[in-house]
Amino acid sequence: MKTRTSRISGFYKRSLAERAALVAEWAGLTSAEQATLLGMSGLNAQQADNMIENAIGTYALPLGVATNFLVNGQDYLVPMVIEEPSVVAAVSNAARLFREGGGFITSSDEPVMIGQIQVLDLPDIYIAAGAIMANKAALMAEADKVGGSIVKHGGGARDIEVRPILDTPVGPMLIVHLLYDTRDAMGANAINTAAEHLANHIEALTGGRVNLRILSNLTDRRKARAEGMVPAKELATDSISGADAVKAIVEAGVFAEVDPYRATTHNKGIMNGVDAVVIATGNDWRAIESGAHAYAARDGQYRSLSHWWQDSDGNLCGSIELPLAVGIVGGATRVHPAAGLALRILGIQSARQLAEICAAVGLAQNFAAIRALATEGIQNGHMRMHARQLAVAAGASGEMVARVVQAMIEEGNIRLERAKALMIELTSK
């Protein structure tokens, strides 16, 4: 069997239709499915009407594919939905460099979510906590009764924890955590159903009053990790040596570990990659965002989600860890036609595998950003992208885009008026 590789050089130079055809062949898509990718069909207004209230139409975003990803020895093409230029190109280039270091190694926790039950008006908070702990097994069995298909697939309640919070403006409260394995689902519905179901039982056991019953988006039991190495020699350019680039990138990483102002932007770059995959696969990116940022502040100071260092051979190493509650069943993952295709392109078999890919993409995206920032700065690449958009706006297509862009860059005059003038000059030649 021919081994397939995501290391596709010049993917960006192909036409849009060629790229879609290549990806369709990679994922074994039918021509109708390929048409969905190209936006000829995709989510229609009727489907949108079934997804949210008061629908009046749909809103499209670009779907791109990142190349070159090698994760745990397996090749991936990564679908990404994002409106920001440069992100897909930067992450593909980064993945190519990590490939030289053997690709990404990833891991993840079991898909265990937390459901929170807030108990107030307790006669004695510690007696209440004891009663819950003494009846853990019964409460877990009760939660599993309403677990439906998740329990049939081997998921369900895993543990119960209690967290007394004594000093609050509304008096003491006991927070009960239901730890619940949601398997391949993101699991919000399952965990909320279980938490609501337990409320009466908890009131009966404690003599208290239950208020909120809802999942926590700080899914710190459901984290994914990625690690990778870029050989120093791959970082050398005409203007900087590999060793100096490694040093500058490590310094940039430390900046984000110690300063919340920088950490916020650093993590924004990470989420450029993570969110794009989360959105492409129909997952809830607000849940992922809130979880990631809360985790980044877990020790009381907001810090970077990644860590960069130099290994004993002088190469650049990076790692990332963040909560990643993504699913491959349920929700929009199966309702949105393009989300289903994104999962097919990834060839994903489990929610954990998807979470690990997201972590690898986050790390690669972060590397791309801080490498650019620590070496030539990002405006260079951005201006090229901006020039490209102006060339297209001026009416350029095909190879004329690159010619107009090149001329504007060489002249240092990147404006729509100049793009229009160049179109006339170059076509009349």
Which residues contact ligand MEV (rule: CB under 6 A)? 84, 265-266, 268-269, 272, 369-370, 373, 378
- Choice between 269 and 330, CB closer to ligand MEV: 269
Which pair of tokens denotes residue 272?
């450029």
Minimum separation from the CB atom of position 158 to ligand MEV (A): 36
What SS3 class is residue 324? coil
> Catalytic: 268?
yes
Minimum separation from the CB atom of position 266 to ligand MEV (A): 5
Contact 337, 41 (CB under 8 A): yes
Question: What sign does the dihedral 178-183-187-193 (CA atoms) show?
Answer: negative
Contact 228, 318 (CB under 8 A): yes
Half-sphere exposure (Cβ direction) of 411: Cα atoms closer than 13 Å: 14
- Choice between 18 and 84, CB closer to ligand MEV: 84
Closest-CA residue to 224 (of 109, 111, 346, 95) = 109
- Choice between 115 and 362, CB closer to ligand MEV: 362
Minimum separation from the CB atom of position 230 to ligand MEV (A): 16
Which pair of tokens denotes residue 209?
């009053």
Minimum separation from the CB atom of position 259 to ligand MEV (A): 12
Closest-CA residue to 245 (of 66, 253, 304, 266) = 253
Minimum separation from the CB atom of position 365 to ligand MEV (A): 8
Q: Which of 136, 247, 382, 386 is catalytic?
A: 382
Minimum separation from the CB atom of position 409 to ligand MEV (A): 20
- Choice between 195 and 279, CB closer to ligand MEV: 279
Minimum separation from the CB atom of position 363 to ligand MEV (A): 12
Q: Residue of minimal CB distance from ligand MEV?
A: 269
| Residue 311 main-chain phi, psi, to 5 deg | -85, 180
- Choice between 305 and 345, CB closer to ligand MEV: 305
Q: Which of 84, 124, 251, 425 is catalytic?
A: 84
- Choice between 87 and 129, CB closer to ligand MEV: 87
Minimum separation from the CB atom of position 374 to ligand MEV (A): 10
Closest-CA residue to 406 (of 429, 425, 387) = 387
298's CB contacts (< 8 A; 6+ apart) are 220
Could you tell me the end-to-end alpha-carbon distance of the chain, in angstroms, rounded to an integer?
A: 50
> Catalytic: 284?
yes
Q: Which of 181, 275, 284, 321 is catalytic?
A: 284
In terms of C-beta density within 10 A (0-12 exposed, 13-18 middle, 19 or more buried), how is residue 186 classed?
buried
Scanning 52-101, the segments in alpha helix (DSSP H) are: 87-100
* Other Cβ atoms closer than 10 A to 357: 28
- Element of type H or E holding 258: helix 242-258
Q: Which of 268, 289, 386, 420 is catalytic?
A: 268
- Choice between 221 and 293, CB closer to ligand MEV: 293
- Choice between 214 and 383, CB closer to ligand MEV: 383
| Bridge partners (DSSP) listed for residue 196 | none
Scanning 66-209, the segments in alpha helix (DSSP H) are: 87-100, 125-134, 136-145, 148-152, 188-206
| Residue 422 main-chain phi, psi, to 5 deg | -65, -35
Known catalytic residues are: 84, 268, 284, 382
